[in-house]
Amino acid sequence: MVQIEKTINSLEEYTGFINEISTKTHNGQKKTIFFRGESGCYPKRLPGIFRSEENNNIEVEKPMFRKLVEDGTKDYYFEIFQELGWPITSFGSKLFEWIVEVQHYGAVTSVLDVSTNALVGLFFACSGNQKSDGKLYVYRPLTDDEKQYFGHTISIMTALNFIPRSQIDGFIEFLRALMSEFPEEERPIFFSRSFTITDIIQKLTEEFNRKIVSANIEEFGEDRFKIPFKVLNIENMGGVKTITVSEDEAEDQIVKFLEPFLQDDPYLNYLGGQGKQNLKIEHYQKYLLSNIERLLTPFLEQLNQNSGRNEILKFPVAIFEDIQKSYIVKPAKINERIKNQSGAFIIPGYISYRGISFENMQEKIDESIQQSIKLEYELVIPKEKKQEILEQLRIFGIDEGFIYPDIEHISRVISEKYKI
């Protein structure tokens, strides 16, 4: 939730406000403040790839870059890099640098610009649109999710840009569905962040082979003992049968669970019909376990190929949880533009597009950002004050030539001085 919404009418008023908030601490610690200026008032903070089409200056709920949203960005980035003569000899931190570089020159990406420079944020809120009020968003990190661009986590998040979205979605949806079948308090037993796929399968195999005939259900509750995909005949300590799942019911659970992920699989159709007369539950369980490996492994292989990490990325639950979080990244100062803008970036958590509307996807991306970086203030810059504030900023050297230190913009700024 926004704590304060405030109108800023001058640079003096703004610097006083910044001086006031910069002295505040959170739990005894000073946290970095991040600024994002936008020249208009838009409902959500979204990276370029996820923005809506515009029709007569009104946003409509359709993806402006539908193919990139639905299929992924690998071909798009590779085409840009190829045209620029940047050879893809290896993956890793260099790709994040390149994504940041091309974004600054107009490419759409899945990262969102912010700045640690309060004056730069104000410049962007005032520049480019004199017909609308500007907005300046002031953020602080909620957690320690401020990452280095060359680190483990950002290597993984960058690699997602070069993996088909269908593979990422399939990994997330299958693992989420599998974990949700288990009682919440029992999940860490089977789905620890430190488990490999082999570990998960081994833990499930041990559970399928374990027979419980009597348990203190009244004390611990039924949910603790309702492990899916197995036959259950559990009596309470008093001898009353409380939890029962027949072999047919357990087999049906397995078939029903796998159906969305193995559509048109003839063997699964056999298991759902005639197989129940010929095969035991153990066969169904082995089939389930083999498909856990089959459905999770391809994504991890793609991730390892594209991350550029020397280590093997092999812990599916940790990866599943981490790629759905948002992060703040301070990039390398690879060009004057990033240096002058004190640039940083928010990488939003990955959101699957399957089964939800584009508008709902945008909302989830916006929510993901706010879960890691707190929006503390929304500052409104009245449209009639924008030009005046830009003139005030120019006195302090914050103008187009500083923000965009290339020949075109520097020449434009100097030319303005010589207009009659």
Task: Copy the structure tokens of residue 392.
Answer: 């005030």
Backbone φ and ψ for 88, nearest 5 degrees, come out as -90, 85
CA distance linking residue 106 with residue 94, whole number of Å: 19
- Span between the terminal Cα atoms of the chain, in Å: 48
CA distance linking residue 46 with residue 44, whole number of Å: 6
Sign of the CA dihedral running 359, 362, 368, 372: negative
What is the value of pTM for the model shown? 0.86
Residue 34 burial (10 A CB sphere; 0-12, 13-18, 19+): buried
Looking at residue 163, its pLDDT comes to 94
Looking at residue 239, its pLDDT comes to 65
Q: Please state the three-class secondary structure of 153-187 as a single string.
A: HHHHHHHHHHCCHHHHHHHHHHHHHHHHCCCHHHH
Looking at residue 58, its pLDDT comes to 55
Q: What is the pLDDT of residues 49-93, one digit of tens each?
A: 998 876 545 555 677 888 888 888 999 998 998 888 887 766 666
Q: What is the pLDDT of residues 127-149, one digit of tens each?
A: 988 889 999 999 888 766 677 77
Contact 285, 276 (CB under 8 A): no
CA distance linking residue 328 with residue 306, whole number of Å: 21
Cα dist from 349 to 36, 112, 228, 272, 363, whole Å: 19, 12, 30, 37, 12
Looking at residue 32, its pLDDT comes to 85
CA distance linking residue 311 with residue 196, whole number of Å: 14
Task: Copy the structure tokens of residue 15.
Answer: 């610097």
Query: What DSSP character marks residue 335?
Result: S
Looking at residue 369, its pLDDT comes to 85
Task: Copy the structure tokens of residue 150.
Answer: 């060359």
Pairing of strands 373-381, 52-55: unpaired
Backbone φ and ψ for 119, nearest 5 degrees, come out as -75, -35
- 413: which residues sit within 8 A by CB, 6+ positions away? 399, 400, 401
Q: Tens place of pLDDT for every residue, the chain, 420 residues?
A: 456 789 999 999 999 999 988 877 666 667 789 999 999 988 888 899 998 876 545 555 677 888 888 888 999 998 998 888 887 766 666 788 888 888 877 889 999 999 999 999 999 999 988 889 999 999 888 766 677 777 888 999 999 999 999 999 999 999 999 999 999 989 999 999 999 999 999 999 999 998 877 766 766 677 777 889 998 888 887 666 677 889 999 999 999 999 999 988 999 999 999 888 889 999 999 999 999 999 999 999 999 998 888 889 999 999 999 999 989 888 777 677 778 888 888 999 998 878 888 889 899 998 888 877 888 899 999 999 999 999 999 999 998 888 876 655 555 555 565 555
Cα dist from 67 to 24, 149, 169, whole Å: 44, 27, 15
Question: Angle, to 10 degrees, between the axis of helix 93-103 and the axis of helix 152-159?
Answer: 60
